Amino acid sequence: MSLQVFGLPVSRGVAIGRAVLVASSRIDVAHYFIDPVDVPAEISRLRLARKQVSGELEDLKRDLPPNAQTEILALLDVHLMLLHDEALAEATCAWIVERHYNAEWAMAAQLEVVARQFDEMEDEYLRERKADLEQVAERVLRALGDPSNGSAITERVGARDFGGEDPLVLVANDISPADMLQFKGSVFTGFITDVGGKNSHTAIVARSLDIPAVVGARDASRLIRQDDWVIIDGDAGLVIVEPSSIVLEEYRFRQRQIQVERERLTRLRHKPAVTLDGERVELLANIELPGDGVAALAGGAEGVGLFRSEFLFMNRDGALPDEEEQYQAYRDAVTIMQGLPVTIRTVDIGSDKPLDRMSVHELRHEHTLNPAMGLRAIRWSLSDPAMFEVQLRAILRAASHGPVRLLVPMLTHLSEIRATFDALRRVRAQLMRESIPHGSVEIGAMVEVPAAALTMPIFLRYFDFVSIGTNDLIQYTLAIDRAEEAVAHLYDPWHPAVLRLIADTISQAHAAGKGISVCGEMAGDIEFTELLLGLGLRSFSMHPAQIPAIKQRILRSDSKRLRAYAAAVMSSDEPRSVGKDVSVAGAKVDAGEQVQKTPREAA
């Protein structure tokens, strides 16, 4: 039977595929596809794990004291019976053989299927046996995680298409930003999560991957079953489960239309972004990994406006990348960009991007009452000088291969600015003493905290350029945790206070003759293109996939007319209503007539 699930639209487009559920578990489960040649080895891993658990349970039975209650013995017998159930074992192996899931994923997927069967049983005693099944499955999962259990395949190969013939969509309670990166170029054509906000980092990475996504869909992972056909309408925030043939064909037609439009926009790749009145606009790319530079060039980017270096630090079981590894990554990004500038942001760890292990000053993310306000970004870097200097050395060395700009996140205090420049001076001196080739870099500051925007004259005296991170700026200005569902509706880029901070920062940077860009989500949102142009912004940085649509909007805009439009938006009590009324077609409506009156003036 077809059903609809509603959530928050976070990444546009349409995805159609079979559901792949990442089941919740009390222990971490690795999810990756294996090479077909490794199927026998993965099945062998599963069998060895079952044999190991069987031995553990038999040992427990043997070691029971003579006066032990018979219920305990019966419980162990039930667990052994479930463990040796050949139907359950064969069904688990089928996930490995047919879908090329790794053994842990196969076990978790089959557990999800059987657990639902238990839930539907009328007999209360049988329903309660689900807990026994879960305990046995988790024992097997722990055994699979034991390095002594065969030759475990640890490399995640999600970017390789071993998922079968049908397209797949991922369904989970939640997905971390680091895990999202596993899906680049993978078999997943879209994803759905039960939790999450429209501007959480998970949602942002989804947009950067340019795949349709819906978050905050509440009970999606409970209502959707393994292998269900699912449609994700990323524009409406709608998930259709087991659609009718008519609905399926309608959405396939929409998919084809979207693809045709994207192909049309790619023709703008080599066309300069110039407004109708001759204003040149710089379009840069946000990237997470060095190889993303290929997509940046393909999208027509004029450089990298934000290289999020923290993603080099994730999914590493707590082992931080050393200087050589970082240097090679930054060098690769610089080389790929073929002489175009690359802006590398120093590691922005914390909040919803924690590491597995946080240096000598360990960041206990799960125990931090308000991680967004805690030890993160430059605060963490300055708390661990050795780690920070390793990153700075790697960046300066990479600068010998091409133009590099250094961007420092979440600065608020003059003391932090001075400490950052002191660290740079020490690193330069070290490299010179060691005769290691390195280059000079422009140094910029992220403006993502209201304190930075309000003390812009100090920042402009020290830095060569500034870049506005609108995601965090909105979060901190409005005191809204953008990853928190309960307050996500209050996260408002159109809020007058947010727009005033952005406008003032742009104005002051221009007055000081310093470079200014926006690298947050607003830069890649066509809803804000005209407003930012009208405020004087001439440098946008966004995911490569967003560049063509933004370029098209710029080519159709007249910056002189947009100044009046921006003034109307800025003077309104409700900027959103004014912005949406006149932003279409380059603000052809007389913006001067759109200024709203206060209730007193209207009276």
Residue 532 CB: number of other CB atoms within 10 A?
Answer: 26
Per DSSP, 308 falls in state E
Average pLDDT, the chain: 84
Q: pLDDT tens, 271-287?
A: 999 999 999 999 999 99
Q: Which of 100, 201, 365, 438 is catalytic?
A: 201
Q: What is the pLDDT of residue 117?
A: 82
As given in the structure block, the two tokens for residue 593 are 């007539």
Give the Cα separation of 485 and 76 in Å (integer). Answer: 42
365 is catalytic: no
Name the more confident of 502 and 136. Answer: 502
Tens of pLDDT along 413-439? Answer: 999 999 999 999 999 999 999 999 999
Q: Which domains does the chain show, CATH number per domain?
A: 3-22+156-264 (3.50.30.10), 36-144 (1.10.274.10), 269-602 (3.20.20.60)
Selection from 109-113, 127-131, 244-248, 578-582 with the highest mean pLDDT: 244-248
345 marked as binding residue: yes
pLDDT tens digits, residue range 536-565? 999 999 989 899 999 999 999 999 999 999
pLDDT tens per residue, range 140-166: 888 887 644 443 323 333 333 444 578
Query: Per-residue pLDDT tens for 282-316?
Result: 999 999 889 999 999 999 999 999 999 988 887 66
Is the per-residue pLDDT at 372 higher than 90? Answer: no
The reply, when asked if residue 156 is annotated as ligand binding, is: no
**Residue 154: what pLDDT?**
33
Q: Is the pLDDT of residue 586 over 50?
A: no
**pLDDT tier at 56, thresholds 50, 70, 90:** confident
Higher pLDDT, 35 or 502: 502
Residue 351 has pLDDT above 90, yes or no: no
Query: What is the pLDDT, as a whole number, of residue 485?
Result: 67
Q: In angstroms, how far is CA 553 from the centroid of its own chain?
A: 25
Identify the pLDDT of residue 442. Answer: 97
Q: CA-CA distance, 516 to 524, in Å (whole number)?
A: 16
Question: Which amino acid does the sequence have at 386?
Answer: A
Residue position matching structure tokens 């640890």: 154
Is residue 448 marked as binding? Answer: yes
Q: How far apart are CA 340 and CA 403, in angstroms?
A: 7
With 0.75 as the threshold, say if the pTM is over it.
Answer: no
- The highest-confidence range among 99-103, 125-129, 146-150, 395-399, by mean pLDDT, is 395-399
> Rounded mean pLDDT of 581-587?
48
pLDDT at position 500 is 98
Label residue 188 by pLDDT band (50, 70, 90): confident
> Is 286 annotated in some ligand binding site?
no
| Percent of the chain surpassing pLDDT 70 | 81
Catalytic residue among 100, 365, 438, 519: 519
120 marked among binding-site residues:
no
Output 142 or 525, whichever has higher pLDDT. 525
What would the two tokens of residue 383 be? 């708390």
Model confidence band, residue 360 (pLDDT cutoffs 50, 70, 90): very low
Confirm or deny that 471 is annotated as ligand binding: yes
Told to judge if 93 belongs to the known catalytic residues of this protein, a careful annotator would answer no
* 488 vs 18, more confident: 18
Spatial distance between the Cα atoms of 460 and 508, rounded to a whole number of angstroms: 8
What's the pLDDT score for residue 97?
Answer: 93
What CA–CA distance (Å, rounded) separates 441 from 406? 6
Helix (H) or strand (E) holding 214: strand 213-215
35 contacts: CB under 8 Å, gap ≥ 6: 100, 157, 160, 162
